[in-house]
Copies of this chain bind each other. A is one copy, B any other.
Amino acid sequence: MKSSLALAATLLSATASAQTPLDPAALRDAALEDELAWDITEGLTTEIGPRPAGSAAEARARDWGADRLRALGFQDVRIETFPVPVWERGTESAFVTAPFPQPLHLIALGNSGSTPRDGITGEVAMFDSVAALEAAPDEAVAGKIVYIGHAMRATQSGIGYGQFGAPRRQGPSIASRKGAAAIVVRSIGTDDSSVGHTGVQTFAQGVQPIPAAALANSSADQLERIAARGEPVRMRLVLTSRQTGNHDSGNVIAEVPGRDPDAGIVLVGCHLDSWDVGTGAIDDASGCGIVTAAAKRVMDAGTPRRPIRIVWFGSEEIGLFGGAAYGEAHADEKHALAAESDFGADAIWRFDSDLTDGAAPVAARMAAALAPLGIAQGPTDAAHGSDIGPLAEAGVGIVQLQQDGTRYFDWHHTAEDTLDKVDKPQLQQNVAAWTAMIAVAANAEEDMLAD
């Protein structure tokens, strides 16, 4: 905290001399005292709470967002709806019945199959990786409850999520193909708590859904200790849930008009939906707060050259539905650049980009404007944020402002994703970085469109 505040004071004092309103440095420094991103994050998480994809709460959140964006002075605020398949959580419990009877803590994964109301009981087949499960003969798995562990550790970049997320993403389909009765994976998270991490998994085509859940990390530790005693482990699982068919989801879109629409839209995004167990503060209300507050600062400084478009995507968590719907609906529009904030609210430490060659001077000016915030230059072949994937594939330039993810996977997709996890000075650093980046992108004279 102290370092962020000290930095803010230094920057503010260094830029006290008069500068033009559109100077990215001046806008950046003023944004270090931003209140709007916090207000949006606090408001959305408090007045709506959890916002599961396709739910009534997500619909209320769209209306809340549209009202708020209009009140902030954005133009042409609208909701673009699309249908999504909805899975609903039911009752969840796990109990080791042998050799040491005791409860464990777990949470169902998205699209889990359902047990009967009284649950199922079976022997547990222990694996320490997806590869080990894949290598196992079917008879070692058939009729059993599969467990897969892993050893995810916290990193600044969150780089382990891809590797260590495999048990959740691929484990259920592999287990089902081998005839497993159910699967429980170690939570894809870096905490040692009793709170499980949910997340989507989708059974592969033709694969029978089976009950699928994530054990809280302290319960995964416990199960591994119990199994290490060498006796067969049996477990009772109650995991009721249901598919409720298609329901409306939607993207909330708002515009800052530009002087030269042909120069292409600068799109800044976040996602509005959240998992059902927390209030989605770091995933991703804070992202919506950050990009909206930054866009407003640039808007209020005077009409930019390029239009700026804010998109609060719907139904990201269950399979990037909002990004796909947007990509289809807006394929014919010129986008100069797209960027999404969807990795919490801790400080940005690296500026990644994937822009056309002609935009190299723009990237250089962005890097210069970001450096005083402690942001390093990262790769120029950036991975793209989730909902802007379709735009990236269509050749739109991408900027990624990488947030510190050290704490992120302690709380990701859990009941712990609540407002208290958002650190306001770091949130303000995010707004400052986004403000500078948007100001540069929206006012650059260079052509930023891909050929």
Contact yes or no, A221 B419, CB < 8 A: yes
**A50 contacts across to B, CB distance below 8 A:** 102-103
Contact yes or no, A221 B418, CB < 8 A: yes
Contact yes or no, B194 A195, CB < 8 A: yes
**A48 contacts across to B, CB distance below 8 A:** 100, 102
In the bound complex, what is the Cα–Cα distance between A223 and B117 (angstroms)?
32
Given B194, B195, B222, B415, which contacts A46 in the complex, CB threshold below 8 Å? B222
Which residue of the partner chain B has the closest CB to A276? Answer: B103
The answer, yes or no, to whether A226 is at the interface (CB within 8 Å) is yes
The answer, yes or no, to whether A192 is at the interface (CB within 8 Å) is yes
**A222 contacts across to B, CB distance below 8 A:** 45-46, 49, 279, 418-419
The answer, yes or no, to whether A284 is at the interface (CB within 8 Å) is no
The answer, yes or no, to whether A414 is at the interface (CB within 8 Å) is yes
**A221 contacts across to B, CB distance below 8 A:** 418-420
Chain copies in the assembly?
2
Min CB distance, A51 to chain B, in Å? 9
**A216 contacts across to B, CB distance below 8 A:** 415
**A105 contacts across to B, CB distance below 8 A:** 415
Min CB distance, A210 to chain B, in Å? 25
Contact yes or no, B416 A57, CB < 8 A: no
**A416 contacts across to B, CB distance below 8 A:** 193-194, 218
**A283 contacts across to B, CB distance below 8 A:** none
Instruction: Give me 25 A-to-B residue pairs in the complex whose CB atoms sit less than 8 angstroms apart, sorted by A's number.
Output: A42-B225, A46-B222, A46-B225, A47-B229, A49-B101, A49-B222, A50-B103, A57-B102, A105-B415, A192-B421, A193-B193, A193-B195, A193-B416, A194-B195, A194-B414, A194-B415, A194-B416, A194-B418, A216-B415, A218-B415, A218-B419, A218-B420, A221-B418, A221-B419, A222-B279
